Chains A and B, each alone.
Chain A
Amino acid sequence: MTGPTTTLKVGFAKQLRDIQVALPPGEPRPWDATDKLEIVGKPIPRIEAPAKVTGAAKYTHDIRLPGLLHAAILRSPHPCATLGALDLEAARRAPGVVAVLALAKPGDRLLFVGQDVAAVAASTPQQAQDALRQISATYKPEPFVIGTAAAMASDAPRVHTGKVEERSTEGDEPGSSGGATQKGNIRMTPSQKKGDVDKGLRMARVTHEATYTTQVHTHSALETHSIVVRWDDPKHMTVWCSTQGIFSVRDELAEVFELKAQDVHVITDFIGGGFGAKFGASAPGSRMGFVAGELARLARAPVALLLDRREEHLCTGNRPDSIQRVTLGASPAGELTAIKVVAHGSAGIGTGAGVGRNASGIYTKCQNIRVESHDVFTHAGPATAFRAPGHPQGAFALELALDELAVKLGKDPLDLRIAHNEHPVRRHQFELGREKFSWDKRRKQAVAQHNSGARLRHGVGVAASIWGDFGRGNAVTATCSVGRDGSIELRNGLQDIGGGITTVVAQVVAEVLHRPVSEVRVKIGDSELGSSVGSGGSNTTSSVTPAVRAAAEAVKTQLTALAVKQLGARSSADLRWDSKGVSAGKKSLGFAELCKYISGESITATGTRPETYGAYPTKFAGGNSYQIAGVQFAAIEVDTWTGLVRVQSVLALHDCGRVMNELTCRSQIQGGIILGTSYALTEQRVMDPVHGVMLNANLDAYKIAGARDVPDMEVVFTEVHTGANNTGAIGIGEPATIPTAAAIACALYNALGVPVRSLPLTPDRVLAALGVVPGHTG
């Protein structure tokens, strides 16, 4: 059922137009390009920040309960082994131990270093660790395979003996999975197809074909996966969990322990980072929810299960690696006739090593496209969604290949991109960036510097982002109330993973009620505060804020009726609302005065978000949601003697629908760039192929970017009014990290004149590309 149609002014920059949208009954008219908002969009500091800067914020690791026990998990030391005997008796008798739990049976095949074997709960963390050493487990090691290329060989040891079921979370890109067939360690998934790529390659006069590889990248959130379970009685539990999805935790535990969902109370006041790996009560490679819940049940005491840093690297997910064979074809005039990508990647024992939509969804003027992504099983912990699953690796291969083709064609790489991109916002971003970044001048300078044989060389590169507006309809119920004392509260069971949604929610309420943000109390982080979405797919703001606005508008409607009555106005049209309160003619009432007339304790209303009602101006490839555009330009310096690459600056032009808070939105984009820089230059999981173990499962040898590795960053918002929902919010978390590594790799190619086709862009690879040292495999 839909209500009357409404005219909305949508678009971006000067390209605005009117569209007709049919709104569901009761839905507020969406904020569009005509709305001048006073609080939404402003750079308002985080309202929860005082708790974070004083140490008062309680994360799951900080939960202290009377009688709290500490759990630890014995993990398989072998990449592949059959469990022989498992004897927990000595551990059961160890000092402080209250409960023990077998997590594997003799005869079970264990498939990676770090897989669950057994667990204990003891009075102190140290006693739990000590008790693990009392467990007697014997293993019969079996042949294993670690490298992705090695696992593809027909005679490689088989990781799985049967068909593998796909595991998906709210962090996965919607619609990215599907039917698959399996052969050896290779699991083939349906390809993204358009036209006839073989014909396109036959038509081509200029072709480029090369292989690009990317590394395994671990999430490395600072707070490790953690859960605290307390049974309140045999049918009710209270859970504190470091999670991106409170309701995914609730539902998993309800299923595992056969409880009613509403009898599982989940609390996540604060979470120390997630980046895609924290959905559900468990980690992707460890049954943490079951372990904590079962130990707590056995011990009749609350149990905390907090992983350590090594476990975090081994069994809580990662971004899969990739080996991408890219073939591009073009006419002599530089028209792309074919884009073909055949990608293999390893999600360890799990699935989901695709390379995203970059190759199929951005340069769509090309009529013939085929992208095949295949999972290769290896004996390592399962991958999981990681900030824009698939896309950074896909962007790297495609964008660097495009630059190589551009050189063969004698064309400017930016011209080649603009010529084949059909998204008007992205085209606008490319053009804007070209000017702001002095692209043409710097490209020429790089060539001149290269020809001069200088030791330090500079280069610039550009790459594009693609993501969808995955804002969810009918998933969020927000409650707004205004008390007789003038207090304003907004309640919803969402979690703030650091993006700043707490503040944005307060801004929306404040905007609707014309009150300062400081007067809005936001209660979140609790499953009893109304249903909400998990923070994955860059959908939090676009799913939550429309429901919040609907709730606040419903309260406002009741306040309006009250004001009409108290001011003796003829209708609501005679009222004027401002930061002081409300007036009609010469009569006025302060907000607090008005609230005193509320009968009962408060006016309370709930709001929900209907399905997305527009996707202007461009749809996401393979779906009906709006396609989010973004472009990043990078400038690098490379020392040709040492091979060291430094990213000097990044210009990021992004569309995230309406910018809800300029301060936190900019921070999130900066964070995406820094993550991408780190992925481009230093991060990589290093596995020992002989022993099958991770060699750098820590934060000293696993190198994540520090303060001195950060480029100068300029963020440009190209705000788009899409008419997709009533606040106009879209998403930014994922789009912001997609193109960074690709742009850096292209800039390095510009500086060196030779491509480095493997991430990370380490000094040895740079020197090998220059022919100074021999290259290594991989």
Chain B
Amino acid sequence: MSDSPRITRRSLFRGIGSVTVVAGCATPAKPEPQPAPGLAAATPPIDGVALGPGPAALRFTLNGATQTVEVAPSTTLLDLLRHQLNATGSKLVCDRGACGACTVLVGGVPRPSCMTLAHDVADAEVTTVEGLASAGKLSVLQQAFIDHDALQCGYCTSGMLMSCQALLARNGATDAAAVETAISGNLCRCGTYPNIVAAVLSAAKAGA
């Protein structure tokens, strides 16, 4: 990382602009693959206006409130949240989508915000851990996490909550295995997994 040049995701994007990257990756001869559920609304059309390398306007909804910000196309959603919007509940841990600590909901779908470019949530609805409680009242899931001691140091907690919230929203918390699968992309170093499973199952039972 010192005497030899290192290409990072950010420097690459910054150098050539995000739209060019997306366009360069597409293979026109083949039919467009169907985007994954939840991605459709969030992904800007590839024939749109080229953005960058400087900051460009971005509009999206964060926890119910419309946000209009100027952000460089190379900026990840996580950096936007943590550094520009002071929403520090989502954590930067691995910076490569391996640990789930930065999980947020984009259009209701859990996604690693460290692997999502900020401009990819244009016009989408983003929910972070700060958006789970309403009017100062904890959600059923948040309260279940507390009651079942589903957290120790708390650093994985926000990402865990978002993955579990998405599971509950699709009525998927049918048994322990389903919860374990839902959080299989979320790492916890303190070892809270069984308590998280118990918390989610109890929240599901309570109709969360």
Q: A: which residues have CB within 8 A of B?
A: 45-46, 49-59, 61-62, 64, 74-77, 117, 124-126, 129-130, 132-133, 135-139, 220-224, 270-273, 275, 308-309, 497-500, 663-664, 666-668, 670-675, 698-700, 704-708, 710, 713
Contacts and interface: CB of A to CB of B under 8 A. Distances in A.
A132 B146 CA distance: 43
B138 interface: yes
Nearest to B142: A53
A222 B191 contact: no
Contact of A273 (B11, B82, B129, B153): B153
B189 A704 contact: yes
Interface in B162-192: 179-181, 183-184, 186-192
B155 A46 contact: no
B76 to A, nearest CB: 10
Given A50-B138, A54-B133, A670 B146 contact: no
9 contacts: A54-B129, A56-B89, A222-B153, A222-B155, A222-B187, A698-B96, A699-B96, A706-B187, A710-B193
Contacts of B128: 55
Contacts of B157: 52-53
A297 to B, nearest CB: 24
A50 B156 CA distance: 14
Contacts of B82: 62
B72 to A, nearest CB: 9
Contacts of A698: 94, 96, 98
Given A75-B2, A710-B193, A663 B149 contact: yes
Nearest to A118: B2
Given A53-B138, A54-B133, A498-B154, 18 more contacts: A52-B157, A53-B142, A54-B89, A55-B87, A56-B130, A59-B88, A61-B91, A117-B2, A124-B83, A129-B8, A138-B3, A221-B155, A667-B152, A671-B152, A674-B191, A699-B93, A706-B193, A707-B180
A497 B82 CA distance: 23
Nearest to B144: A53
Interface residues of B, number: 64
A633 B46 CA distance: 57
Given A50-B146, A222-B189, A275-B189, A498 B87 contact: no
B71 to A, nearest CB: 12
Contacts of B184: 706-708
B43 interface: no
Given A667-B149, A671-B190, A137 B3 contact: yes
A118 to B, nearest CB: 9
A124 B14 CA distance: 15
Going nearest first, the 4 A-B pairs with the smallest beta carbon separation are A55-B89, A671-B191, A272-B155, A498-B153
Contact of A222 (B86, B88, B156, B181): B156
B187 A130 contact: no
Interface stretch (B17-25, B27-35, B118-126, B194-202): B194-202
B11 A53 contact: no
Contacts of A62: 82, 88
B91 A139 contact: no
Contacts of B154: 49, 51-52, 57, 270, 272, 498
Contacts of B145: 49, 53
Contacts of B92: 61
A145 to B, nearest CB: 22
A517 B6 CA distance: 53
Contact of A664 (B86, B91, B149, B158): B149
Nearest to A309: B94
Nearest to A710: B193
A500 B188 CA distance: 16
B5 interface: yes
Contacts of B195: 667, 670
Contacts of B1: 74-75, 77, 132
A64 B146 contact: no
Nearest to A220: B189
Contacts of A57: 154
Contacts of A499: 152
B183 A133 contact: no
Contacts of A667: 149, 152, 190-192, 195
Contacts of B89: 54-56
Given A222-B153, A273-B153, A710 B146 contact: no
B93 A52 contact: no
B3 A77 contact: yes
A398 B156 CA distance: 35
Contact of A674 (B5, B8, B94, B193): B193
Given A222-B99, A497-B153, A707-B197, A55 B187 contact: no
Contacts of A675: 189, 191
B80 to A, nearest CB: 12
B130 A713 contact: no
Given A50-B146, A58-B88, A309 B132 contact: no
A191 B165 CA distance: 54
A219 B133 CA distance: 32
Given A53-B142, A77-B2, A126 B10 contact: yes
B128 to A, nearest CB: 7
> Which of B153, B180, B196 has the most CB atoms of chain A within a 10 A radius of its CB?
B153
B151 interface: yes
Nearest to B145: A53
B191 A500 contact: no
Nearest to A704: B187
Interface string B82-117: 110011111111111011010000000000000000
B70 interface: no
Contact of B190 (A129, A273, A308, A663): A273
A309 B189 CA distance: 14
A668 B189 contact: no
B130 A55 contact: yes
A354 to B, nearest CB: 24
A705 B196 CA distance: 15
A46 B88 CA distance: 21
A64 B96 contact: no
A312 to B, nearest CB: 9
B146 A708 contact: no
B91 A222 contact: yes
B197 to A, nearest CB: 7
A76 B3 CA distance: 9
Nearest to B185: A706
Given A54-B129, A700-B94, A139 B3 contact: yes
Contacts of A708: 180-181, 184
A137 B2 CA distance: 7
Contacts of B151: 46, 49, 52-53
A55 B191 contact: no
Nearest to B3: A137
B48 to A, nearest CB: 24
Contact of A132 (B2, B79, B90, B96): B2
Contacts of B90: 55
Given A52-B157, A54-B142, A498 B88 contact: no
A135 B3 CA distance: 8
A54 B192 CA distance: 17
A74 B4 CA distance: 12
A670 B194 contact: yes
